[in-house]
Every structure is written in C-alpha cells, then in structure tokens.
Chains A and B, each alone.
Chain A
C-alpha cells in the first residue's frame, strides 16, 4: 500500500529558530501534497496545498512567509517553520495524493510531527 514517511516525528526548538519537516511518498508519485496543523482535541486544519514544481497555495490566514513549503520532486515536500515562536507549537501532518481517486493511493497521511517551541 501507499506509504508516506514524515520526519522528524518530534522536534523541540528554541524560539526564533527555523525547523524543517520532510514528507516523502515512498512507493508512489505524489502530484499533490497537503500540509495540516492539528491542535489538541481538534480536527485537522489545512494550511496549504502544494503541487510538484509549483508554488504552494495557502489557506486563508496562513502566513506563507512563515510556513515555507517546497515541493521540488514528486516524492518530497518540505515545510519550514521560520522564526518559530511558542504559538507555533502544534502537531503538523502531511498528506500525499496521486490524484487518481480516493482509493489507497488517493490520500495517504504521514505520521505527524510534534513541534514544541521553547
């Protein structure tokens, strides 16, 4: 089945530093990748949609200069949280889509990254 690998699973960083999160589709080509943010006991909030080779499309209210998304290949997308602050602490999850329907290869999620900014 489709596998999406997300790293790191957990990261603690100091306020003001930048953190990069990687999302890789291991056995399929991800034409589209989605980045979500999830607060405790809440649902997933879509932050941005990225298509390989194109600029990401950010949801309303998401600062594109703060959350940099790169989707340089069909198997890798990265989210960089720049100048992180404690309010950026959250659970970040990526999802990859092959664009070929809602089956196993339709939407596959990574295991998430818990970011804590101290």
Chain B
C-alpha cells in the first residue's frame, strides 16, 4: 500500500464547475501538506500549502486538511480550461524534509 493515495483520473469537468481533488495518507507523522499543479513536460508549481489541520483559501483555490481522517482536499472554483493539468498532492514530516507525493490526478476542463 502506498503512503499517499490519489485517484489518477482523468477528471473531466465543464468550464465554470468546481473541481474537487483529494488524497488519503497512512502516516500520521505528516505535518505539512501541499498541492502542486504540473503542466505537461514542466516542473510542478506550488498552489497551496497547509501546516497541520485546517482550511486555507487563496483566490479560486481552497485546501482542506483533516488529520484525524488522514484526508486532504483541494477545491478549484470557477474552473477554466487553463486549469487543465495534473494535480499532485505532497506531504512531509518536517520543514525541509523530503516530500512524499501522491500519484497525481489529471484534470481536464472543457470549454
């Protein structure tokens, strides 16, 4: 069993819809939680990060962490075709420690 599980998709939504992404993990030692967006043949770009449990909002993006359930989510409101990419969750046990990634979810936003 992988430490971090993420549905590979693809997830196809119409433009303007809410995109809902999630990851589950098994190691309770994870403290930092991140979401990255990766376009084809590019490096990952940090979208959101959260320390421990809670919610965080930044523009159209909302990240949620529920440590009791070992479950994290990312919501993208008013999705745009430019949001079409692969979204990777990642987490670490301490600041500066190596990241453990989920497998990534491919998202397609159709105009």
Chain A residues with a Cβ under 8 A of chain B = 4, 6, 31-32, 34, 41-44, 46, 49, 91, 93, 95, 97-104, 106-112, 114
A34 in contact with B98 (CB, 8 Å): yes
> What 1/0 flags go to B40-54 for Cβ under 8 Å of A?
011111100111000
Residue of A nearest to B99 (CB): A107
Given the interface contacts A32-B96, A43-B88, A98-B96, does A104 sit within 8 Å of B101 by beta carbon?
Answer: no
Q: Which residues of B contact A108 (CB under 8 A)?
A: 46
Provide the residues of chain A in CB contact with B50, threshold 8 Å. Answer: 102
Chain B residue at smallest Cβ distance from A99: B96
From B32, B44, B102, B104, A102 is in contact (CB under 8 Å) with: B32
Q: Which of chain A's residues have a CB closer than 8 A to the CB of B42?
A: 111-112
Count of chain B residues with a beta carbon within 8 Å of a chain A beta carbon: 25
Distance (whole angstroms) from the CB of A57 to the closest CB of chain B: 9
Closest A residue, CB atoms, query B89: A43
State whether B44 touches A99 (Cβ < 8 A).
no
The residue of chain B having its C-beta at the shortest distance from the C-beta of A93 within the complex is B43
- Do A99 and B95 touch (CB < 8 A)? yes
